[in-house]
């Protein structure tokens, strides 16, 4: 009797264990389907503001302060690093052919302890050998009153009256300092990143009038659950983004960079939401969202004032990317003139810390990509860098969308799904066998019990 009673007890324990395992099965399968936690930890935003990430291998170059004859030569397609003294002006040199357009973006990076005014910044221009200016552009810190990377683009377009023909051209970089602003650093120098690029002419003539009609309506904010996506700290470390809702956190004074690849004919809409925070007061220019084209030329920006309640800043509706946009006047249209990577820079003002604390603050990016892709114009040569106006299949595959959380894309999700399904199937088979065995043992024990 003791033996039969022990057998029955063991059978009941096995059956109970099988039932508990079946109850836990959904949680076990969900755990198997989840990716490992290590990559998420690696993507976590740092607690302290990170410095600007200059291009790896950038060549150090010294600008000439007085005479163009001493100007250092810049090769299109390469990236350079230099520095600009307070109240300084520097010259650099380029050699251009008659058929190519030239673009020279200059990013100024002041030290984090710099005190700046709204009108501080840089001005750049491109000049021919006679000193005739081809273009001017400036970039200022604006209402953020916060030291951050600012970028201005000097350029020479072909087909215009000034600055035509091949030969030597000069880039002039000037620092704009308002009275009373400055830096706690002893030298007061601002680091510079310079990335000259060229665009060849076309194999055949293209329209010389900007498109007159396009969908300029502001779309509804993109809905959906935000996915974590920390940004890079420079143009060369910008994290790729596709259509979707993306979330990150920034400390006051931080700037994060993203890139959205756009084909010819594609149209970008983007906005940034700053979450609420405890505290009372007002910070003007608390968040700045800036958009740059593939040669780092300014396209548009939006900023917001902040009182601690959630608020959003959106870029103006942009046209589809077309070659003929270069013949327009507004920067938001003429800047959308190439296919390639468009850069979003998100900056959180250092002024927030004094009113709303050190954070970090949650920022949500909403990115919508519309339009229909089509073939671009035929170039008669190669641009420099060669891939600046080109999107490869590898580029497209690396872009996460709302359905994926990182650059591994759909392939990684398929692997996770297959792995989860396979492991779940094995688990189901094991549990099913366990349950059947338990039931058989229970039946045998019941048959051995004495009747009343």
A 10 A CB-CB count for 419 gives: 13
Mean of pLDDT values over 426-437: 45
Q: How far apart are CA 240 and CA 404, in angstroms?
A: 12
Percent of the chain with pLDDT over 70: 76
Q: 380-431, pLDDT tens digit by residue?
A: 999 999 999 998 777 787 788 765 444 333 333 333 333 443 444 444 444 4
Q: Is the pLDDT of residue 327 over 70?
A: yes
Q: What integer pLDDT is reported at residue 97 of this predicted model? A: 95
Q: What integer pLDDT is reported at residue 211 of this predicted model? A: 86
Q: How far apart are CA 62 and CA 400, in angstroms?
A: 39
Q: 356-373, pLDDT tens digit by residue?
A: 999 999 999 999 999 999
Max Cα distance, the chain (Å)? 118
Half-sphere exposure of 96 (CA within 13 A, CB side): 32
User: How many contiguous H segments (helices) and E segments (strands) does the chain have?
Assistant: 6, 23
Q: What integer pLDDT is reported at residue 167 of this predicted model? A: 95
As given in the structure block, the two tokens for residue 425 are: 């199937």
Residue 43 near residue 406, CB atoms below 8 Å = yes
pTM for this structure?
0.79
Q: Is the pLDDT of residue 441 over 70?
A: no
Residue 105 near residue 168, CB atoms below 8 Å = no
Q: What integer pLDDT is reported at residue 48 of this predicted model? A: 55
Distances in Å between the Cα of 439 and the Cα atoms of 21, 25, 422 are 15, 19, 26
Q: What integer pLDDT is reported at residue 89 of this predicted model? A: 94
Q: Is the pLDDT of residue 435 over 60?
A: no
Q: 141-155, pLDDT tens digit by residue?
A: 999 999 999 999 999
Q: 213-252, pLDDT tens digit by residue?
A: 888 888 887 888 999 999 999 999 999 999 999 999 999 9
Q: Is the pLDDT of residue 439 over 60?
A: no
Q: Is the pLDDT of residue 34 over 90?
A: no
Q: What integer pLDDT is reported at residue 449 of this predicted model? A: 42
As given in the structure block, the two tokens for residue 316 are: 């103006």
Half-sphere exposure of 309 (CA within 13 A, CB side): 0
Three-point CA angle 110, 111, 116, nearest 5°: 60
Residue ranges per structural domain of the chain: 2-37+411-448, 59-410
Half-sphere exposure of 95 (CA within 13 A, CB side): 3
Going by pLDDT thresholds of 50, 70 and 90, the confidence category of residue 10 is low
Q: What integer pLDDT is reported at residue 356 of this predicted model? A: 95
Percent of the chain with pLDDT over 90: 63
Beta strand 101-109 with 80-84 is: unpaired
Mean of pLDDT values over 183-211: 84
Going by pLDDT thresholds of 50, 70 and 90, the confidence category of residue 53 is very high
Going by pLDDT thresholds of 50, 70 and 90, the confidence category of residue 12 is low
Q: Is the pLDDT of residue 321 over 70?
A: yes
More confident residue, 393 or 435: 393
Q: What integer pLDDT is reported at residue 20 of this predicted model? A: 54
Q: Say which residues have a Cβ less than 8 Å from residue 388's Cβ, sequence separation at least 6.
A: 197, 294, 295, 338, 340
Q: What integer pLDDT is reported at residue 179 of this predicted model? A: 64
Q: Is the pLDDT of residue 447 over 50?
A: no
Q: 119-139, pLDDT tens digit by residue?
A: 999 999 999 999 999 999 999
Q: 67-96, pLDDT tens digit by residue?
A: 899 999 999 999 999 999 988 899 999 999
More confident residue, 201 or 34: 201
Going by pLDDT thresholds of 50, 70 and 90, the confidence category of residue 291 is very high
Q: 331-352, pLDDT tens digit by residue?
A: 999 999 999 999 999 999 999 9
Q: Is the pLDDT of residue 277 over 70?
A: yes
Q: How far apart are CA 117 and CA 218, in angstroms?
A: 32
Q: How far apart are CA 323 and CA 338, in angstroms?
A: 6
Q: Say which residues have a Cβ less than 8 Å from residue 157's Cβ, sequence separation at least 6.
A: 101, 134, 135, 326
């Amino acid at each position: 009797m003791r033996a039969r009673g022990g057998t029955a007890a063991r059978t009941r324990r096995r059956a109970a264990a099988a039932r508990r395992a079946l109850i836990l099965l959904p949680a076990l399968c969900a755990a198997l389907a989840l990716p490992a936690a290590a990559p998420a930890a690696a993507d976590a935003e740092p607690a302290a503001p990170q410095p600007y990430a200059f291009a790896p291998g950038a060549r150090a170059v010294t600008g000439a302060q007085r005479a163009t004859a001493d100007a250092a030569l810049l090769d299109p397609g390469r990236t350079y690093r230099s520095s600009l003294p307070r109240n300084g002006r520097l010259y650099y040199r380029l050699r251009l052919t008659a058929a190519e357009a030239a673009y020279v973006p200059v990013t100024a990076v002041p030290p984090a302890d710099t005190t700046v005014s709204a009108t501080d910044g840089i001005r750049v221009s491109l000049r021919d050998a006679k000193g005739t200016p081809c273009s001017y552009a400036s970039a200022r810190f604006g209402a953020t009153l916060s030291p951050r990377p600012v970028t201005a683009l000097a350029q020479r377009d072909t087909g215009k009256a000034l600055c035509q023909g091949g030969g030597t051209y000069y880039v002039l970089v000037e620092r704009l300092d308002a009275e009373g602003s400055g830096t706690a650093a002893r030298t007061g120098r601002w680091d510079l990143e310079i990335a000259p690029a060229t665009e060849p002419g076309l194999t055949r003539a293209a329209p010389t009038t900007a498109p007159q009609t396009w969908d300029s309506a502001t779309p509804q904010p993109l809905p959906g659950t935000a996915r974590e996506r920390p940004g890079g700290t420079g143009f060369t470390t910008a994290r790729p983004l596709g259509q979707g809702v993306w979330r990150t956190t920034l400390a006051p004074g931080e700037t994060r960079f993203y890139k959205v690849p756009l084909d010819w004919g594609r149209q970008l809409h983007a906005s940034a939401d700053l979450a609420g925070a405890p505290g009372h007061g007002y910070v003007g220019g608390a968040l700045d969202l800036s958009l740059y084209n593939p040669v780092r030329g300014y396209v548009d920006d939006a900023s917001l004032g902040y009182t601690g309640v959630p608020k959003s800043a959106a870029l103006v509706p942009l046209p589809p990317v077309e070659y003929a946009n270069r013949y327009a006047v507004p920067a938001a249209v003429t800047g959308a003139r190439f296919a390639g990577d468009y850069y979003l820079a998100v900056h959180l003002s250092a002024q927030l810390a004094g009113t709303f604390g050190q954070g970090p603050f949650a920022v949500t990016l909403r990115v919508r990509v519309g339009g229909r892709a089509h073939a671009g114009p035929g170039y008669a040569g190669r641009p420099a860098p060669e891939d600046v106006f080109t999107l490869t299949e590898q580029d497209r595959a690396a872009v996460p969308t709302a359905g994926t959380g990182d650059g591994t894309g759909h392939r990684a999700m398929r692997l996770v799904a297959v792995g989860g399904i396979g492991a779940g199937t094995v688990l189901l088979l094991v549990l099913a066998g366990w349950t059947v065995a338990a039931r058989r043992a229970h039946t045998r024990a019941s048959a051995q019990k004495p009747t009343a």
